[in-house]
Amino acid sequence: MSRTALPPTDRPAKHNSMLGVGAASLVGSALEWYDFYLYGTAAALVFNRIIFVNSDPLVATLAAFATFAVGYLIRPLGGLIFGRIGDTHGRKYVLVLTLLVMGVATFLMGLVPSYEQVGIWAPITLIVLRLVQGIGAGAEFGGAAIFSVEHANPRRRGLHGAWPSAGVYLGLLMASGVFAIVTQLPEDEFLAWGWRIPFLLSAVVVVVALVIRLKLAESPAFVALQEQEHAPASPVKEVFAREKKAMLTLFLAQTPQNVVSSINLAFITAYLVGNLHLASSIGPLATTIGTAVTMVLLPLFGWLSDRVGRRPVILFGIVFSAIFAFPYFWLIDGAQAPFPIVLAIVVSLGLGVGAMFGPQAAYFAELFTGGARFTGLAFSRELAGAVSAGTTPLIAVALVAAVGGGTWGVALFIIGACVLGAIAVWFGGETRGRRMSATTVEELKASTGSFES
């Protein structure tokens, strides 16, 4: 029996489109954080021993984490540059560019010679590549988030917007998983060549992500703005002139998630090895399990924000993270086996970060008008990353050293970040259901709960 062809506007075609959009967002975001967190793990386990060579292990670790921070400090510049391009030339165009910039820089990191081979040129080369990587990464998540949310059904933006967030943890899972494998090598082989394998493997992810992204059409919201000629001539000027409150809300709301994530994904591995003198494989193993659990929970929290609102879900994650700050370190410091360490990281990432991060793409996209969304989201988010995420491992190492090896200072630091985030989210108001094509702040706020495209 013959089947009647469905018109292109029917639901199956739309569903297929969202599958493509979700895959593009997931894979590209995975590459970004695979790349970026490879460096965090390598800074804790490798770079402080073969690139930033110093007789004092603490100084060498601080130097390695300082370049971890450099990658974050340059990201706001990438957010401005690529955000403007995304608001004027299209979301898809930027997603292809950022993918190439990040991928090439990460691949070349796997070829950097050691300090013993080329002296000072080893850290210089690594820092330059870290800067290039950071510029490319400055618009990747923002672009993927906007691309997903602008395509989604207005009542499912939280769910579909969670795919870039899940991509972040897929990238972390891949990075920690590959490192968990290569750390099983004999130590001399791991330091000689084993650590390079995860960086070189990034080329595979780049190819897969490019194939998926090049097949997609432009965001419908961006096309509508262009057709109606509502896009501002200068998105940077527009967002700084009229949308400063949204930028501040995003900056502060992002801070607790940055801090808690960086503690779990960068600092804790160095702490387990350097302070508790545990095997170097425990940190990557615990992070692998924690990221896998979080990746599964992120869409759930995104979906929940479609039902009850962005604000209550994000506030739950912030408050939980503050309450869990001291128990987190009690579990880790008192651990006689890997299980308590794994439990602490799984709970902190899965419930705390999961609830903050799951609704984030939809929440942040709904804070800004259509014509300045990419610039405002990418710059504000990456500025928060530069201030809080990139510096957190450095601050945490310094706090532990300042109090003679204790972790109570780091716990208080987490709580302080959570207080700032909670205030911002509470006073920032609810955003669920805002119209993506709104062109003024007044129109955007008035559309809250309308669930219009």
pLDDT one-digit tens code per residue, 254-264? 999 999 999 99
- DSSP secondary structure, 423-434, as one string: HHHHHH---TT-
Can you tell me the distance from the alpha carbon of 32 to that of 168, in angstroms, rounded to the nearest whole number? 7
Nearest alpha-carbon partner for 162 in 351, 352, 264, 295 = 295
Nearest alpha-carbon partner for 258 in 430, 17, 31, 40 = 40
Residue pLDDT, tens place only, 83-123:
999 888 888 888 888 888 988 998 999 999 988 888 888 88
Residue pLDDT, tens place only, 164-205:
999 988 887 788 778 878 888 898 888 889 989 999 998 888
Structure tokens at 239: 């967002």
Long-range pairs, 7-12, Cβ under 8 A, ≥24: none
Residues ≥6 apart with Cβ < 8 Å to 194: 182, 183, 185
How many C-beta neighbours within 10 Å does residue 339 have? 11
Phi, psi of 157 (to 5 degrees): -65, -35
Helix (H) or strand (E) holding 268: helix 268-274
Taking CA atoms, 282 is separated from 130, 267, 341, 373, in Å, by 26, 13, 8, 41
The CATH code of the domain at 19-446 is 1.20.1250.20
Return the pLDDT at 208: 85
Query: Per-residue b/e over 403-419, b at no fewer than 16 CB within 10 Å?
Result: eeeebeebbebbbebbb
Structure tokens at 165: 């967030």
Angle, helices 282-308/338-347, rounded to nearest 10 degrees: 30
Structure tokens at 316: 């739950």
Which DSSP letter does residue 219 get?
P
Nearest alpha-carbon partner for 32 in 110, 103, 80, 113 = 103
Contact at 8 Å (CB) between 452 and 435? Answer: yes
* CA 98 remoteness from chain centre: 14
Return the pLDDT at 17: 67
Contact at 8 Å (CB) between 167 and 33? Answer: yes
Return the pLDDT at 12: 36
Tell me the H-state helices in 309-372.
310-333, 338-347, 354-357, 360-365
Q: For the chain, which residues make up each domain, given as ranges?
A: 19-446
Residues of the chain with pLDDT under 50: 1-16
